[in-house]
Amino acid sequence: MSFHDATLNGLGDRCIGMPLTERQAIRIILAGIRRDPMALLPYGDDAAAIPLGSGAAVLKVDMLVRATDAPRGMTLRQMAMKAVTSTVSDLAAKGVRPMGFLISLALPRGITSSQVRELALGLDEAAGLYGAYILGGDVNEGPDLIIDCAALAWADPGRLTPRNGARPGDIIATTGPYGNPPAALRLVQEQLMVELPDPVVEGLKRILYEPRAHLEEGVALAGIASASIDSSDGLAWSLHEIARMSRVKAVLTEIPISPEAIQFAEKTGIDPLNLALYGGEEYNLIATINAARWAEALDRVEAAGGTLHKIGYIAEGRGVYLEEQGEVRMIEPRGWEHLRSR
């Protein structure tokens, strides 16, 4: 998760002696640092951008800690690939391609040469998927495996897609269905015994263990989307971020839930809507698009080999709501959060 733009509102004093959540820690950090007046994206966005010559340097860093970010059964190669993918996903939300990556590794004592080789192969494989290279990095010792991935990209400042650009009348769209990663996470973490066809189980696990960033779709939407965010912290939380930073109301009219997640929900009695809204670990993009440019956006994304699902609209007001069968209900701002989520 990035440094989210927020004010303390006295939070620091109230939290003295109390365990902090990730978002509370971020607010405290933001209150204690100076802000670059030349920044081209608001603090709290998926990435940072600063002027560079006639364009902009776009910077992104993302950390994977094995104990908290790697589900049971994930290989070292998959961990390395996920670290790169999560970084690229945030760049995709800004509509830019990575130029290269720097990797910092904290390696636990006793790690073997074959394990380090597996990490290197995973890093290189993922970088290759997104058309870039590992340029260098740093290695240190730590009590657990940590993979810290930093990416550099270049952009036309006028084509960067911020989180805070949504406007009333915009269409809300996403690049894929929801529910598979949280369903798979329950399967492997809780070791649930669920009678599902083997292809369904394998499909769920593949999406959890080897996620892919929607880079081509994000680049296709550059210059068209008014706002965009990566959905790795969950659909509900991501929509709340767009609504909060854009000072608008987001209304969902349809939520694309994957067939596999629906089957899993039917077998376990879990509400599939909760899986889709609050699960997280998806790397879809959520974008808002002016209705007059919707057809153009569809054409561009399809030409890039992706899909775009209309899931709602932006209106005057605040918050996130679900409009279903003539009724409107509020969607809570919940999702994945370190120091809180389990």
Confidence at residue 6, expressed as pLDDT on a 0 to 100 scale: 43
Superfamily of domain 37-159 in the CATH hierarchy: PurM-like, N-terminal domain (3.30.1330.10)
Q: With the C-alpha atoms ordered 274, 181, 96, 306, is the resulting torsion angle positive or negative?
A: negative
| pLDDT for the residue numbered 334 | 79
Distance between CA atoms of residues 71 and 274, nearest Å = 20
Integer Cα distance of 234 and 242 in angstroms: 13
pLDDT at 9: 39
pLDDT at 17: 56
Question: What per-residue confidence (pLDDT) applies to 305?
Answer: 97
Report whether 88 contacts 130 (CB < 8 A): yes
171-330 CATH fold:
Phosphoribosyl-aminoimidazole Synthetase; Chain A, domain 2 (3.90.650)
β-pairing verdict for 225-230 and 319-324: unpaired
The pTM of this model reads 0.90
pLDDT given at position 336: 55
Residue 88 CB neighbours (<10 A): 32
> Going by C-beta distance under 8 Å and a sequence separation of 6 or more, which residues neighbour residue 199?
none
Under 8 Å CB-to-CB from 108, ≥6 apart: which residues?
141, 142, 143, 144, 145
List the domain boundaries for the chain: 1-34, 37-159, 171-330
pLDDT along the chain (342 residues), means of 10: 44 55 80 90 92 95 94 96 97 97 98 98 98 97 97 95 97 96 87 80 89 97 97 94 97 94 90 91 96 98 97 97 91 67 50
Task: State the amino acid at position 254 in one-letter form.
Answer: E
Residue 59 — φ and ψ, nearest 5°? -120, 140
